[in-house]
Amino acid sequence: MKYLIASLVTASAMACVAAAPAEPVVLYDTQQGTTPDQQGWAYVTRPILVAKAQRSFSEGLTRLDTTPAMSEWVGFLTRLNVRNVSLSHPKMPDLDRQAGYTVRFQVRVVEEKHTGNDRAGFCIIVVGNDLQAIELDFWTGEIWAQSGPNRLNPDEPLFTHTVEAKKVDTTQLTVYQLRVSGESYSLWAGDEQLLSGPLRDYSGHWHPAYSQANTIFLGDNSSRGSAVVDIGNVEVLSNAVPGQGEPAVSAGSNGG
The H-assigned helical ranges of 172-222 are 208-211
161-220 confidence digits (pLDDT tens)? 999 999 999 999 999 999 999 999 999 999 999 999 999 999 989 888 899 999 999 999
pLDDT at residue number 87? 87
Cβ atoms 146, 160 nearer than 8 A: yes
Beta strands in 151-205 (DSSP E): 161-167, 174-181, 184-189, 192-198
Q: What is the pLDDT of residues 139-160, one digit of tens each?
A: 999 999 999 999 999 999 999 9
Predicted pLDDT of residue 20: 57
Mean pLDDT check: name the lowest of 130-139, 207-216, 242-251: 242-251
% of residues, the chain, pLDDT over 70: 85
Q: Regarding predicted confidence, which is higher, 1 or 58?
A: 58
In the predicted model, what is the mean pLDDT of residues 5-10? 36
Predicted confidence at residue 243, as pLDDT, reads 53
**Which amino acid does the sequence have at 120?**
A
